[in-house]
Chain A
Amino acid sequence: MPSDKNNKIPFNEDNYTHNIERNNERKLDRRGFMKTLVGAAGVFAISSLPWGMVAAKELMGLGEKEYPHKKITDVSKLAIGDAMNFKFPGDHDDAILIRLSEKKYVAYQNACTHLRCPVFWVKEEGEMICPCHHGKFDVETGVPTAGPPRRPLPEIQVKVENGAVYAVRVKRYEV
């Protein structure tokens, strides 16, 4: 004979471990959570592909790509201590060439590594300065010496042939 409690006090079936109401079904059950987890992992994996491309590019040596040598200027037109802008390797990659001495030329892509403002050469101070946030770069190496930029300017190798200065290639970025 059942006790008189039977069916008088219904069990509370709406809790996290046991629910039988279809409308109280958890929005995110264990399986849904695992699916979300795997899905998010997939999304992260796919979103990391661009970096994979960059790495592949490095591994395949595309970073060492030689661009067609480009004449910047004649040696006679650039006085010692002066600088001039040019475009290398593409038409939209601004660069700066600085003549430090009779034989020594340095060239950098002059988009500041902080927020890509054009870095220019201040002859009096012997420094490259970014006007936007007063970042300064060492002219010999391109490494930042003051202000917000933290990475060196990409260096462009130049060569002097037949009284003219040519841009040869962009040196790959090294930490």
Chain B
Amino acid sequence: MKKRLYLELENCIGCRSCLAACTQCGGHEERNRNYVYDVNPLVNRQTMPLMCLHCVNPACARSCPAQAIQIHETGAVLSALVEKCIGCQNCTIACPYGIPKFDTEQNLMYKCDLCIDRTKDRIPPMCASVCPSNTLQWLTDEEIENKRNQFNLDNGKWVTSLPYLESETNVKVNLPGILQGITKLY
């Protein structure tokens, strides 16, 4: 039973639990690999978390000249392999969501890898397990489909941006206010 990360953005309360969890997660060396953005800074208080959307056809991996970014069999796009990454920062430019971070000290790109050591054993990633407001959820495709049916989508599919840069992602996001003609049904 494959599960995916699902972001229900309107639930976010900006508590930064996901950042703290990621920072303190084993193997992350006190670096967090996710972001909490202000959606409309200085206008309202809405925030949104963003880790990595784990594109099916990832621009970062395609742009990497050393093939240091690999796609795991679960679909997660892994962080740069330490022995391959040459620190050229192509991926940080290529990613349309600005996900990969660059560590100038280690000359190494690092990004969210969906906690692959946990998710390969079907344990939810650390951020999803600590999120107190159900913004980050770890759901089966069936449950995500039920979530999607709460919306009226004019184009019938969820894409992460319009006009879309990377069509399909392994992390599913609901994008209130970005998709056209949406009304939540509950």
Chain A residues with a Cβ under 8 A of chain B = 1-2, 7, 10-11, 13, 18-23, 25, 31
- A11–B62 touching, CB < 8 Å: yes
- B71–A21 touching, CB < 8 Å: yes
> Shortest CB–CB separation between residue A112 and chain B, in angstroms?
57
- B57–A11 touching, CB < 8 Å: yes
- A20–B67 touching, CB < 8 Å: yes
- B166–A22 touching, CB < 8 Å: no
Q: Which residues of A contact B67 (CB under 8 A)?
A: 18-20
- The dominant DSSP class at the B interface is loop
B177 at the interface (CB under 8 A from A): no
User: Which residue of A is nearest B70, CB measured?
Assistant: A22
Tell me, in angstroms, the Cα distance from A165 to B10 when the chains sit together: 110
Please report which residues of chain B, range 57-85, place their CB below 8 angstroms from some CB of chain A when the two chains form the complex.
57-58, 61-62, 64, 67, 69-73, 78, 83
Central interface residue in A2, A7, A18, A21, by most chain B CB within 10 Å: A7
B167 at the interface (CB under 8 A from A): yes
> Shortest CB–CB separation between residue B19 and chain A, in angstroms?
27
> Shortest CB–CB separation between residue B80 and chain A, in angstroms?
12
Tell me, in angstroms, the Cα distance from A20 to B163 when the chains sit together: 25
- Name the one of A2, A7, A11, A21 contacting B70, with C-beta atoms under 8 angstroms: A21
User: Which residue of B is nearest A8, CB measured?
Assistant: B167
- B71–A20 touching, CB < 8 Å: yes
- A23–B64 touching, CB < 8 Å: no
Q: Which residues of A contact B83 (CB under 8 A)?
A: 31
Give 10 nearest A-B pairs by CB, closest first: A20-B61, A22-B70, A7-B167, A22-B72, A10-B57, A23-B73, A21-B71, A20-B71, A20-B70, A20-B67
B186 at the interface (CB under 8 A from A): no
Known: A2-B163, A22-B70. 9 other contacts (CB 8 A): A1-B163, A7-B166, A7-B167, A10-B57, A11-B57, A19-B67, A20-B67, A22-B73, A23-B73
Given contacts A7-B57, A13-B62, contact A22 B71 (CB under 8 A): yes
